[in-house]
Every structure is written in C-alpha cells, then in structure tokens.
Structure 1
Amino acid sequence: MGNTMEADQEGSWGGAAISAEDFARISEAGFDTIRLPVRWHNKTLQQAPWTVDPAWMDRVQEVVDLALAADLNVILNSHHFDPIHEDPLAVAEWHGAVWAQIAERFEGYPEDSLWFELENEPHNNFDHSNLLETLEPALEAVRARHPTRAVIIGGENWSGIDSLATLPLPNDPNIHPTFHYYDPFEYTHQGASWTAPDMPPPGRDFPTAEDRQKLAADVEKVRSYIERTGHVPFMGETGAYDLHISTEDRAAYHRTVTQAFAPTGIGICVWAYANTFPFWDRENGEWLPGMRAAMGLPE
C-alpha cells in the first residue's frame, strides 16, 4: 500500500486515503496479503514517553481492520522512521516505545493474519553492526505482548538481496528475514527524481544477457541462504517505476522476477498498489493490463 500511510500525511504524496473499497478490490483480484507501510516518527511526542498521536493510532487500526475484514493478511511495519537511520542506538528507545504502543493496540489480533515488520530498509548508519542492538527495545516490546507473533527483520543497505549473506537474526523461531528486489536499479529506478544526484537516466532496457545472469545468481543466493540458515526469506518489495517504463515492460519485469524466484518458495509483495509503481490505475478505475497476470493471477 505504498505512498499512502508512510507519506508525511496519509495520501500527501499524490495518493489517496485508503478505503474499504481498495481492500475489497485487492482481495477480489486474488491477492492474499497487503503490506502496510506506516510513518510513525512524526506522529509521536518528540521526547519520552514518545506517545503516538491517538488519532493516528486509531486510523492505523481502522485500516488494519478493513484489510482483515476483506480476508487479507496484513504486514504492519514502521516505515521512514528517519532518525533511526542517522543515529540508530540513540533512537532505539524511542523506536521501541512506539512499538510498545503498537503491540498494545493490536494485542489479541489473530497471529496468522497480522505480522509485524520492525523497520523498513535499514541504511546509512543503521547497519548490521548495530541492527540487533537497535531493534532490541522494539522486539522486547512486541514479545512482551506477542510472544509468538511473526516478526520480520530486514538488513542493511536498504535490505538489498546481498544483505542476506550477513543478516544477523535474534534467536527466535518466529523471526522472518526479508529483502527487497529492485535489480537492476538502473532499470527499475530510471528517471526517479528522489534518487538524485545518482538518478539512473531513462532509456535502460530489461533484460539484457547480463541481467539474466545476475537474476539467476540472485536466485541462487536465496537458495543458498535457505539451505544455510533454514530461514525462508520474504521479498517485501519489488517493482519498476512507471515514469519512463511502459506498463507492458513493467509487467514483463514482474513476470520475469516472479517466475525466477518461484522455485525458491518465497513470498512476494509488490510496490505498489496505486500511485507510483502502480498496479491499480486510480484515475481510470481499472487494473493496469498484464500486471496481475505477471504475478500469476487471473486478469
């Protein structure tokens, strides 16, 4: 559900507020899970006890309830908790206090259909050297009320696939690793202004022979990770920006990635539902052609 609740304010990035109709549509299309990115750090007191704005917590709960009512699984995360990526250990207590409030609000929710993802895409100063120590307050807060609920943890460098090789995980059987897949970045993010000053220029095609080789190698990285650790990772994001890539080519990208990783048995969430990397065309009120079929769903 990208570019909605992780924006500065819900829908402020050119999107729209989430509605029950969105989830009914997603469920009817054959998807079974939504990932709900939520920005928390600007919705709390900026000092202890870091109380979350009650109206915001109510709205997040409302959206989770709407998704569950549509028979969808929900991955609820913390997204763009910006200070944690600059000074991880100094922000850990704040981050943990927010998760304590999330954990309290969702106590008693079904474990099989609501998962927690502690923080999206660690980067900058938030890396594997401090990942577990930084997330410890959040995980302890969650486990105090949800001892066996599934918790997702991603690695450094924006949770790219190579982060799996050295991803540290707590000794907890209900922790699930995640990675994000936007490779080749020069293709998926061509013309994406938010990547400046290193914005990939438009005009990159996919797949080249080199792309196919890299994709095969990346699939092998996942196979090796599963064999080595016993953990089956989850692809939390994948997609291609629609500004300079046609819908037909975006569908081909998703189809290629989905089919390549299918033998590993991993789950996949796509970025995103509507508004930037979209599957649903909100303006015309229709699913973009070929996009659902690329994921193995009926058109």
Structure 2
Amino acid sequence: MPAMPRFPAPLRQALATLLLAGAALVPHAAMARKPASLPMATCINLGNHLDMAHGGEIQHNRLGPADFARIKAAGFDTVRLPVNWSSHSLATPPYTIDPAWFARVDQVVDGALHAGLKVILNSHNFEAINTDPVGAQPWFTAVWQQIADHYASRPRQTLWFEIENEPKDALDNANLVTTFAPALAAIRRHNPNRPVIIGGEKWSNVTSLATLNLPDDPQVWPTFHYYEPFAFTHQGATWVSPSPPQGRAYGTPADLARLPVDVQRIKAFAARTGKIPLMGETGAFESIPTDQRIAYYRSVFKTFRPLGVPICVWAYTNTFPFFDAHKGQWIPGLRGAISLPETSPKR
C-alpha cells in the first residue's frame, strides 16, 4: 500500500481548519431541518365570550383588564380569542362588519396585548363557509379583508390570525386551500408576514393532519384540536347528541394506547411539512370531577409538549373552565397539570 502524501505544515493547518469548520456546520444544518412551530408557550382560550351568535357575549361575564392581568400573572403567554363575525356582518354585499362589534373586539384584543399577551384572533362559527364553501366565499373573504385591514397596524409578533375554526361538512381538506385562498390573499395585502393559522377538516381532528396541505406561504401555520377520547372529554355535554354518559374515567388501556398513535400522526405531519402543528383546543368538560380533569390535562401535556407542540387549553371561564368566576379563583390543580405555578394571586 503506497504511503500517504505528507502535506506542508501551512497546508495541513488550512485543511484542519476547513474540516473543523465543516464539522461546526453540521449541527446548524440539522437545526435548519428541524420542524418549526409558532413561538408561544402556554395558551388559554377565551371561549364562549365573543364567539356567541346574535347578541354577542354574555353580559354578566364580559372580558376586561382584570381578566388579562390575571391570565398573564397565572403564567399564560398567549390567548386564543374566538370571534363570531358572521352574525355581526351583512350577509350580502358589501358584507360590512358592525362597527360596534368591531369596537368591542378591539377592547378585548388591545386589552390582552396591553397586558403583554399574544393574541390568536380567529373566525368562529362562520357556518355558511362550511355548508356552502363556494357560495359563501365572497362574504367570508370580505369579512377577512375588513379584519386584516383593521388590525394591520398591530404588531405581527403578538397578534396572529386564525382563518376559520374547525372546518367541517362541505369544507374539507380537498377544497380547503382553494376556499381560503382569496381570504388569505386579502390578509396578505397589508399583513405580508403576519402568522395565519389553518386547521383541517372534520373539526380539525388530529386525524385531519394526514391529508392537510398548506398554502405555499412560510407564515401559514397548521393547527388541530384534541378532545380524545371524546367519550371522556364531552361526557354530560348538553350540546352533543347523544351526550356521552357521565361516569367515564380517564386512563383506560385504550386511552393510553391511543396516545402513541396520535404522537406518530404529529411526527408524520412535521416530517412531511416541516411544521409542528398548534394544538388550538384541548379540554375536559366541567361536569367531570376535577381530579379526572387534572389527570387528562397532565396526560395531554406530558405526551405532546415534548414534541414541541404549542398547546392552547379550552377554556378560561366557561364550559371547560380553568378559572371559577363565581369563587373568583383558579380551580386548584389545573394549572399545575399544565406545568404552570399554582401560586399566582387571586384577582
């Protein structure tokens, strides 16, 4: 075997430097390939406030500055604000949003931003886009044009848009991107880099990720909702027909076997798209014993947070509450279940 050539010392030093530089670049290349996610920590939904149809929010439970200060002090960094726009806009051209409704949404959005919270502002319960995606597209697009223009001056780092909550029925993954394309273009006119969140078909169930495609836009982010097993999380829920019977405990062998399957669904989506989806909703209904609700939230966070999944729990004060508005206190144990301190002051 011939002897290896011996290079001059200066050349050997240069080669060594190049090799070290190449080795140093490897971790950065690996980081570049790492799936990305929205920059948020722990989020809570402001559910059943501004998403109410016809007549707006519940008047005895109006969101105000004290709520946002309390949420921030509890350790949350983001709120998701569901808003019903269709009930507060004209259903025919020019599809104008009621100025009084806009003013009320402003109070909530700006109050949360002033408290140091990030805000996910969505369209919620726009039923026409689900039942007739083609026919309702002009209305839906015009509403988003108004929202996007109205909030264009708010910081893109802290106010994000979610184009529609839980697509379902006639709005599915086959037509979703096409249906939303005009609204996204309207948003991008004055919000070129603002994050926009899109969920998939069938109420954005975790299974929807398998066929969810995203527009060619680096600031469009995926989301899904997680209420599995439904027979546990929605037991006693009056709006579900038939309502799952009460008394079902969490943590059965089937419950535990499902978790790794859903983990693989998220990993597969991240590998396919390069993006980690936001869990925009998860929760257990208020009729379920608190210790069981704690067990559920703890399991969800323990399972999905290590994947880098941002999680937004449902909800602040209503139906799946973390805060007991009647007692004026956080429900003991729930914040600890999602890795927040249990010691923030009462307000």
* TM bucket, shorter chain: over 0.9
1:297: which partner in 2? 340
Q: Is residue 209 of structure 2 the alignment partner of residue 209 of structure 1?
A: no
1:267: which partner in 2? 310
> Hey, what's the Cα distance between the residues in 1 that align with 2:177 and 2:262?
25
Q: String of CA shifts for 1:258-292, please: whole Å, max 9, x gaps.
A: 01001110100000000210000000000000010
Which of 30, 53, 56 is matched with 1:10 structurally? 56
State the TM-score, normalized to the length of structure 2.
Answer: 0.84
2:33: which partner in 1? none
Q: String of CA shifts for 1:87-124, please: whole Å, max 9, x gaps.
A: 11110110010000001110121111010000000011
Which of 117, 126, 130 is matched with 1:85 structurally? 130
Q: CA deviation at 1:10?
A: 3.2
The one-letter code matched in structure 2 to 1:50 is Y
> Hey, what's the Cα distance between the residues in 2 that align with 1:54 and 1:262?
40
Bigger CA radius of gyration? 2
> Hey, what's the Cα distance between the residues in 2 that align with 1:11 and 1:41?
14
Q: String of CA shifts for 1:226-285, please: whole Å, max 9, x gaps.
A: 122201100000000012x11121111001100100111010000000021000000000
| More displaced stretch, 203-212 vs 151-160 | 203-212
> How many residue pairs were aligned?
296
> Hey, what's the Cα distance between the residues in 2 that align with 1:254 and 1:15?
28
2:39: which partner in 1? none
Contact kept? 1:116, 1:150, Cα under 8 Å: yes
Q: String of CA shifts for 1:164-223, please: whole Å, max 9, x gaps.
A: 010021000000000000000000001111111x32111211110111110111112112
| More displaced stretch, 123-132 vs 158-167 | 123-132
| More displaced stretch, 201-210 vs 170-179 | 201-210
> Hey, what's the Cα distance between the residues in 2 that align with 1:236 and 1:15?
26
Which of 139, 142, 146 is matched with 2:191 structurally? 146
Which of 238, 241, 246 is matched with 2:289 structurally? 246
The one-letter code matched in structure 2 to 1:159 is S
> Hey, what's the Cα distance between the residues in 2 that align with 1:142 and 1:157?
24
| More displaced stretch, 15-24 vs 179-188 | 15-24
2:263: which partner in 1? 219
Which of 17, 21, 30 is matched with 2:66 structurally? 21
Question: Can you give the 5+ residue segments of structure 2 that lack an aligned partner in the other structure?
Answer: 1-45, 343-347
> Hey, what's the Cα distance between the residues in 2 that align with 1:91 and 1:52?
15
Contact kept? 1:89, 1:133, Cα under 8 Å: no
| More displaced stretch, 24-33 vs 121-130 | 121-130
Q: Is residue 171 of structure 2 the alignment partner of residue 129 of structure 1?
A: no
Q: Is residue 327 of structure 2 the alignment partner of residue 281 of structure 1?
A: no
What's the C-alpha RMSD, in Å, of the aligned pairs? 1.1
Question: Can you give the 5+ residue segments of structure 1 that lack an aligned partner in the other structure?
Answer: none
Of structures 1 and 2, the one scoring higher in RCO (CA 8 A, sep 6+) is 2
Contact kept? 1:78, 1:117, Cα under 8 Å: yes
The one-letter code matched in structure 2 to 1:33 is T
